[in-house]
Amino acid sequence: MHGPLSALLQAGVFLAPKPWDDPRLFGEQIVLGLATGAVYALVALAIVLIYRSTDIINFAQSEMAMFGTFAMWSIWLSGVPFFSNPWALLVLAGLFGLGLGAVVERVVIRPVEGKPLLTIVVVTLGLFLLLNSVATWIWAQGELPKSFPSPLSVLKAVDIGFANIPQHHLLIFGVGVATMVLLGLLFNYTKLGLAMRATAQNPLAARLMGINVGNMLTLGWALSGTLGGISGALIAPVLSLHPAFMLSVLLYAFAAAVLGGLNSVPGAVVGGFIIGVAENLLGTYTPHAILGPEMKLPLALMLLVAILLVRPTGLLGERAVRRV
């Protein structure tokens, strides 16, 4: 064999690290992937929650979370006793997201409800530009990115038997899973959750049953804002704060949501974990000369597009049947 291809082969361009060379590294990649996957799953859940009930894809999800995280950073800097504790910040981030989500739904989204897809997409994109720009204006002064506190340490690792994992990543995984469990309990075992599911399934019938559909929609946005806020505060110590820091998370979350099927809640969770792990494995075990860690995002997105082409509604999504 001659020519450029054989030269590339001899130069080892296509050589990739092998998982069995270093099983500990492999284990670490898997667990780290599950941890970031939990964050992706949270944001994906936020997207799916809104999409199920209103058919709206919220492109501003990342910026809402980013905005809240920056607000938390301000509180942390201000040094107010009790509230500027990193644990308290996690809770506050959720509460801030709750409020922001509700306000956004009432002020921006309500007027365009039921309008064509393009209108809604553009409005959420307008919100994206607005929040991004305001955050840049308020917070992006001086040195960027800014560091965000973690309740535990990002650097100190814990040996969990087959891998060394930073404490913070264990926290991400724990809080992420706990949030999902709480959300599952809310939806499946409370009257409020039942009302929200009914609203998502058939707003007209829900209204006839005496459910205040408008309030349920606001609550859906508020919950999704909460999920975004918590995920922002969870991932910020790892990624550091920057006006665009949630954008890549949003893309992975889109990938997760679409992978699972945009209208499937379990799909979002499964998709989040799959994308988290796949991202790490693709970054580590592909030839670094031509792919490697920098290409994690494009690789994950290509994976997404490939899956979409085989199953346009995602792994667990239901095919929508339309009457024309």
Residues that bind other proteins (CB under 8 A): 51, 57, 59, 108, 110-115, 117-119, 121-123, 125-134, 136-137, 203-204, 207-208, 213-214, 217, 247-248, 251, 254-255, 258, 262, 294-295, 297-298, 301-302, 304-305, 308-309, 312, 324
Q: Whole-angstrom Cα distance, residue 8 to residue 287?
A: 12
Q: Which is nearer to other proteins, 22 or 55 (CB)?
A: 55
Q: CB 50 → other proteins: shortest distance, Å?
A: 11
Q: Which is nearer to other proteins, 6 or 133 (CB)?
A: 133
Q: Which is nearer to other proteins, 172 or 259 (CB)?
A: 259
Q: Which is nearer to other proteins, 179 or 199 (CB)?
A: 199
SS3 state of residue 158? strand
Q: Are 268 and 41 in contact (CB under 8 A)?
A: yes
**Looking up tokens 């994690």, which residue turns up?**
296
Q: CB 1 → other proteins: shortest distance, Å?
A: 22
Q: CB 136 → other proteins: shortest distance, Å?
A: 6
Instruction: Kindly provide the b/e burial profile for residues 269-278, where b requires at least 16 CB atoms within 10 angstroms of the residue's own CB.
Output: bbbbbbbbbb
Q: CB 213 → other proteins: shortest distance, Å?
A: 5
Q: Are 314 and 307 in contact (CB under 8 A)?
A: yes
Cβ-proximal residues to 180 (8 Å cutoff; 6+ apart), any chain? 38, 41, 42, 45, 269
DSSP string covering 1-21, please? --HHHHHHHHTTTT----GGG
Q: Which is nearer to other proteins, 73 or 139 (CB)?
A: 139
Q: CB 141 → other proteins: shortest distance, Å?
A: 9
